[in-house]
Structure 1
Amino acid sequence: MTPAKRALVTGASAGIGRAFAAALAAAGYTVTAVARRADRLAELLSEMGPGHDHLVADLSTADGVRATTDLLTREHYTVLVNNAGTAVHGDFAATPLDDSLAVLDLNCRAVVALAHAFLAGAEPGAALVNVSSTLGHTPKPGMSVYSATKAFVTSFSESLWHEQKARGVHVFALCPGVTATESQQADDVPSWLVQTPQEVVAHAIDALAHRKGPTVVSGRRNAVLTTVTRLLPRTAALALLGADREPAHRKGASSESALITPPNR
């Protein structure tokens, strides 16, 4: 008997997470959507139709992580999409430490906790998707902690891919590039380089279907740019990726930071 197709998607209220939930529902999965915003989750469920459910949980908190891992332990899911994440923008030394630690908690600690709860009971054919970023390969000055967390997610996922394949459990890191969502319109990026959340998720669904991994970069352009940047000398790559930032002594250092839910990764 074929097991029921059930998926849990975090960060499902907007952007890539919302697109994931919709795509998996359309593919016949029963979806549990997890996010902080109850109103957005209710709206998503009404669009997906009957049979799906949701969990209101803030994965930047211990209570939110616990509620979600309890659900993963109690229920049987065949797919987990670890998508929830956040970023802090600005020079690391000029931004509040608590903001950077919050990025670490959500982008790393929550990802590890949910992955562990899911994999402990995963059966052959199950799949874990950890949403990372092309910035995990090519760190960007001004987003130092975010880039570092995504390097962690990519490395973590690659190791899990190898560890879990003997069990028949598929793991991969999804690495989108610039993605246009409500929290990042990407007006300063050439349009040919910007993807929609639906385009990113289409690559992920294809990777799920064909068991691709351990790393899936969303689109040929992103793959080429990531490869080229990695081949450059490190100092040259950092200078290129930091070229849009003026030196702090020219623009005035600021202690303000914008902690946001990232649009794409």
Structure 2
Amino acid sequence: MARALYNPMGTTALVTGASSGLGVGYAHELAQRGADLVLVARRQDRLEALAVDLAEKYGTVSTVIPLDLTAPEAVPELMADLTSRDVNVGTLVNSAGFGTLGSFVDADADRQAEQITLNVLALTQLTHALLPDLISAATLRPNTAALVNLASTAAFQPVPQMSVYAASKAYVLSFTEALWYETRASGLKVTAVCPGYVDTEFSAVAGNHQPTDRHLTVERVMRSTCAALDRTSTPPQVIVGKRNAVLARAAILSPRRAVLKVAGRPR
């Protein structure tokens, strides 16, 4: 298949959730390809340490913006900050997000609201704010601009005990696929990355402890993402791992009640 190498060299990429896990992985991949970075997350010390690491390894200039994206005015504040620094973003990676495990009836209402705000609202607002710049960058310099939204294999079916998380990722997947179609003429590379369990802090935060032999590595997710971005026609979704791809397709084709029965088994 024909490939067109994604080359963000000389552009700036913004990565949310950049203090750990996949966010750190994406920051390294983008810096290695020559992009400068805007690193966004709550933990300033981790962002600053990452910025130093990226500079030492790749000569990358990183702008550190410590920010809680669940705050009501977080995205407008972020955009104002970018404008004041005269930063033009060519690639956006929406990696920030979290999940919770447990029955919805027993869940903390504020925590669920935070989950929806981060996984859905902040992602949507930031994408809307930056999409014109991404499209402009893609039009002016083909193969330099991308929108990567982190979804999940949970997006393909309802997941009892993680009901809000799975629903939020179903939104991310559907939203991203629609944007892929809407922007297809611009050359912007748009994709939703759908891994299963990844060996990051996510499981600890969610309280979901899966056997380690079922975990993907951050490196595996990066390889799958970059392979998709390097294609001439970047696919609207990337399911990481053959087993996950089979399970996701099975969930789409199977009766909904059967899917719920399987998804609802004790973890």
TM-score bucket (shorter structure): 0.7 to 0.9
Gaps of 5+ in 2: 1-7
Deviations 1:18-45 (CA, angstroms, capped at 9, x unpaired): 1110111111111111110011111111
SS in 2 for 1:184: helix
* Structure 2 partner of 1:128: 147
Deviations 1:229-248 (CA, angstroms, capped at 9, x unpaired): 22222111111111116xxx
TM-superposed deviation, 1:71: 4.5
SS in 1 for 2:166: helix
Q: Is the 8 A contact 2:98 2:202 kept in 1?
A: no
SS in 1 for 2:184: helix
Q: Name the amino acid aligned to 2:92.
A: L
Q: Is the 8 A contact 2:9 2:34 kept in 1?
A: no
TM-superposed deviation, 1:190: 6.1
TM-score, normalised on structure 1?
0.85
Counterparts of residues 68-217 of structure 1 (less than 5 Å): 68-71=78-81, 74-122=86-134, 123=136, 124=139, 125=142, 126-184=145-203, 188-189=210-211, 191=213, 193-210=214-231, 211-217=233-239
* Structure 1 partner of 2:31: 25
TM-superposed deviation, 1:107: 0.7
TM-score, normalised on structure 2?
0.85
Distance 2:50 2:161 in 1: 33
**How big is the alpha-carbon RMSD for the aligned residues of Structure 1 and Structure 2?**
1.9
SS in 2 for 1:8: strand
* Structure 2 partner of 1:53: 63
SS in 1 for 2:93: strand
> How many residue pairs get matched?
243
Q: Name the amino acid aligned to 1:220.
A: K
Distance 1:198 1:43 in 2: 20
Deviations 1:71-95 (CA, angstroms, capped at 9, x unpaired): 4565211110011112222111111
Identity of aligned residues (%): 38
Q: Judging changes above 3 Å, is the alpha-carbon distance between structure 1 residues 71 and 198 closer, same or farther for their aligned structure 2 residues?
A: farther
Distance 1:152 1:64 in 2: 21
SS in 2 for 1:167: coil
Q: Name the amino acid aligned to 1:219.
A: G
Gaps of 5+ in 1: 246-265
